[in-house]
Amino acid sequence: MKTNKLTLLSFLMIALIGFSCTNTKKSEESADEGSEAMESEITLTKAPPSPEFPIANLIKRGDAAITPTDSSFVVNYTFDVQEYDLGEPTEDYETRGIANSAKGQHIHFIVNNGPYAAHYMPGINDELDAGNYVVLAFLSRSYHESVKSPDAYHVENLVVGDVEPDSADLTDPHLFYSRPKGTYTGADTEKVMLDFYLLNTSLSVDGNKVRATINGNEFVIDEWAPYYIEGLPMGRNEIKLELIDAEGNLIPGPFNSVERAITLEAGSEEM
C-alpha cells in the first residue's frame, strides 16, 4: 500500500512538472509572437509636395581660395544666392512632421560624397588634405530637403596641394547622398526623410533608378524626390543607396554606391 502511494505521488509530480514546462514554453512562445507583432514594418513613401523655388540660383564667385596650414589646407568658397533666402524657415516646416533646422534654409556642402556640412551664410570654409576632390553644393530647405531646380547647385573638381590631378568626369551620371544623417530623437524618429542629389541622369520606371536598402529591406525608387522612412527601430539603422540601370546593374561612378548609418534615440530633444 505504501508503495502504491509513492508511485501515485511520483506520477502526480511528473505530471505537474510536465504541465508547468508546457505552460512555460507556451508562455515564452506567446511572448515571442507578441514581440514580433510589435515590430514595425519599415516603409518608404514619397513625401508630399514642398514649396518650389524654380529660379533659385547658387553661383560660385571666383575660384576657391586655398591657403596652406602646417598640416592641411583651408579652402574658402564664396557664393551668390539669388531668389532664395538663407536663414529663413521654409514656410511649411511646421506641417512636415520631420526634423527641421531652427537656423533656417541653408546650403548643403558635400566633398567626395561624404556627409554634408550645413552652411547658413554664403561663405564656406573647409579644411582638406592634399588630394583630388569633387565638391557639390546645393540649396536646402530648412528641413534639409534639397532644392532640385536647374540652377540651385554647383559642382566642380578641386585639386588641393601638390598632387597629380585626377578629375572625375562630371558629365557622367552621379548619385550623392544627403539625408538622413546623424542622430534623431523624440518625435523626429517617427518619420525620417531620405533625400539624395542626382547629376546627369533622370529616374523612370523603364530607365535608371535608385536602390535604397534600409536595414536589409530593399526599395527601388524611380522618381527623383524626397521620401519618408517610417517604422525604423531605436538604435543604429543602416542605409545604402545605389544608382542602377534598367536591368538593376550598378552604374559605374565613384559615388554611385554609398552606405551610411544613423541613430534613433527616445527623448524629447529637437534635432
Instruction: Please check whether residue 178 lies inside any domain of the structure.
Output: yes
Instruction: Please check whether residue 253 lies inside any domain of the structure.
Output: yes
Average pLDDT (223-228) is: 98
Amino acid 33: pLDDT: 45
Q: Which set of grid coordinates corresponds to residue 264?
A: 534613433
List the CATH number of the domain containing 83: 2.60.40.10
Instruction: Please check whether residue 22 lies inside any domain of the structure.
Output: no
Residue of 157, 188, 153, 150 whose CA lies nearest to 171: 157
> What is the per-residue pLDDT across 235-262, written as a single tens digit (0 to 9) for each?
999 999 999 999 999 999 999 999 999 9
Average pLDDT (179-208) is: 98
Amino acid 130: pLDDT: 98
Amino acid 267: pLDDT: 80
Amino acid 268: pLDDT: 53
Residues 227, 98, 113, 80, Cα dihedral to 10°: 110
Other beta carbons less than 10 A from residue 210's beta carbon: 22
> What is the per-residue pLDDT across 84-104, written as a single tens digit (0 to 9) for each?
999 999 999 999 999 999 999
Residue 198, strand partner residues: 175
Amino acid 143: pLDDT: 98
Residue 204: which domain range? 46-265
What are the C-alpha distances in Å from 243 to residues 50, 94, 167?
A: 24, 32, 20
Instruction: Please check whether residue 5 lies inside any domain of the structure.
Output: no
Q: Where are the alpha helices (DSSP H) in 39-153?
A: 93-96
Average pLDDT (123-128) is: 97
- 32 pLDDT above the threshold of 50: no
Amino acid 3: pLDDT: 46
| β-bridge pairing 123-128 and 117-119 | unpaired
- Top-confidence residue, 258 or 38: 258
The domain total for the chain is 1
Instruction: Please check whether residue 37 lies inside any domain of the structure.
Output: no
Instruction: Please check whether residue 41 lies inside any domain of the structure.
Output: no
> What is the per-residue pLDDT across 134-158, written as a single tens digit (0 to 9) for each?
999 999 999 999 999 999 999 999 9
pLDDT band at 39; cut points 50, 70, 90:
low
- 6 pLDDT above the threshold of 50: no
Instruction: Please check whether residue 2 lies inside any domain of the structure.
Output: no
Instruction: Please check whether residue 11 lies inside any domain of the structure.
Output: no
Terminal CA-CA length for the chain: 78
- 20 pLDDT above the threshold of 70: no
Percentage of the chain beyond pLDDT 90 is: 83
Average pLDDT (166-179) is: 98
> What is the per-residue pLDDT across 203-217, written as a single tens digit (0 to 9) for each?
999 999 999 999 999
List strand residue ranges (DSSP E) for 112-234, in order: 117-119, 123-128, 131-140, 153-160, 174-179, 183-185, 192-199, 209-214, 217-221, 227-230
Percentage of the chain beyond pLDDT 70 is: 84
